[in-house]
């Protein structure tokens, strides 16, 4: 009686042992993007050094909670073209960010577009020695057309192409575009001289950021990707707020972060949004 059952019991035990020893891989989370993904100057920096990337950016904070292995090729200064080409950063280039994609990719976040429209240089161009007037808006709308709106429109098909290529290279992945958090207050005046932008330029700059975010939302929807809205929950946490409340630093930083970039609080908030959207 016992002799007949023993082989079956041994077989069951062996199958159970194999299942425990070799669990199926959960897959990877790939974080594509620019400095708002990379997290420059938030401790601790990780390679490649020229990307100014932090081990406490939102991707590194979110991945363990998602139960996925992380591939984070994000890099400060990245544009849409750096998804498919090496980015020239010192001392070593950052490989094409799409190299991180593959059949095991389960989640992708994409934070891109700001550098394509020159948003960082725009912010610096708009710093003024006077709170009066609208010198930046006047410069970029001379001749009757809005140069930044034109750049946003030109970037839209580039973002669409990036999303389409992600879906082709990682067909099993859920793809989410993440937009940019509030730099200036969502309404009303700015906070000159803390952020040295003239009163007349505050509303225009705010509108340009909202226009960029709207373009990203449109391209996500048109190309079958989700949207992670970092902007809306960041309202009230802009760079004009005091330390401990702000998610984005001003030109003079009060927390460990690059000027006019998210700090650790901002990255923690984004990580929550990523986890909520993908699990």
> Looking at 60, 176, 237, 261, which residue is catalytic?
261
Q: Is 19 a catalytic residue?
A: no
CB atoms within 10 A of CB 202: 25
Task: Indicate the burial class of 180 (C-beta count within 10 angstroms; 0-12, 13-18, 19 or more).
Answer: buried
> Looking at 17, 19, 35, 237, which residue is catalytic?
35
> Which residues pair with residue 69 across a beta bridge?
28
CA 3 to chain centre: 62
Side-chain-side CA neighbours of 68 within 13 Å: the count stands at 25
Q: Is 176 a catalytic residue?
A: no
CB atoms within 10 A of CB 44: 9
Among 83, 45, 268, CA closest to 175: 83
How does DSSP classify residue 31? Answer: E
Q: Which two tokens stand for residue 27?
A: 């897959």
Cα 29 to Cα 12: distance, rounded to the nearest angstrom: 34
- Residues taking part in catalysis: 35, 261
């Amino acid at each position: 009686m016992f002799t007949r059952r023993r082989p079956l019991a041994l077989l069951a035990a062996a199958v159970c042992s194999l299942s425990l020893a070799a669990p199926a891989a959960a897959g990877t989370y790939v974080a594509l993007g620019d400095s708002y993904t990379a997290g420059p100057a938030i401790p601790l920096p990780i390679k490649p050094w020229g990307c100014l990337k932090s081990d406490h950016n939102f991707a590194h904070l979110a991945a363990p909670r998602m139960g996925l292995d992380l591939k984070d090729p994000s890099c400060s200064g990245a544009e849409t073209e750096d998804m498919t080409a090496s980015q020239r950063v010192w001392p070593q280039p950052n490989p094409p960010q799409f190299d991180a994609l593959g059949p095991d990719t389960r989640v992708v976040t994409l934070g891109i577009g700001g550098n394509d429209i020159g948003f960082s240089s725009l912010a610096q161009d708009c710093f003024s020695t006077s709170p009066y007037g609208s010198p930046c808006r006047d410069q970029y709308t001379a001749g009757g057309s809005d140069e930044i709106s034109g750049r946003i429109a030109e970037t839209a098909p580039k973002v669409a192409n990036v999303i389409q290529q992600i879906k082709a290279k990682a067909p099993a992945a859920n793809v989410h575009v993440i937009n940019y958090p509030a730099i200036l207050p969502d309404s009303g005046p700015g906070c000159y001289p803390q952020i040295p932008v003239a009163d007349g330029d505050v509303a225009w700059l705010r509108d340009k950021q909202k226009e960029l975010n709207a373009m990203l939302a449109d391209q996500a929807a048109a190309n079958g990707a989700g949207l992670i809205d970092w902007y809306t929950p960041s309202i009230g946490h802009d760079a004009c707020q005091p330390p401990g409340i702000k998610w984005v630093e001003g030109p003079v930083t009060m927390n460990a972060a690059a000027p006019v970039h998210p700090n650790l609080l901002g990255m923690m908030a984004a990580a929550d949004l990523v986890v909520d959207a993908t699990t």
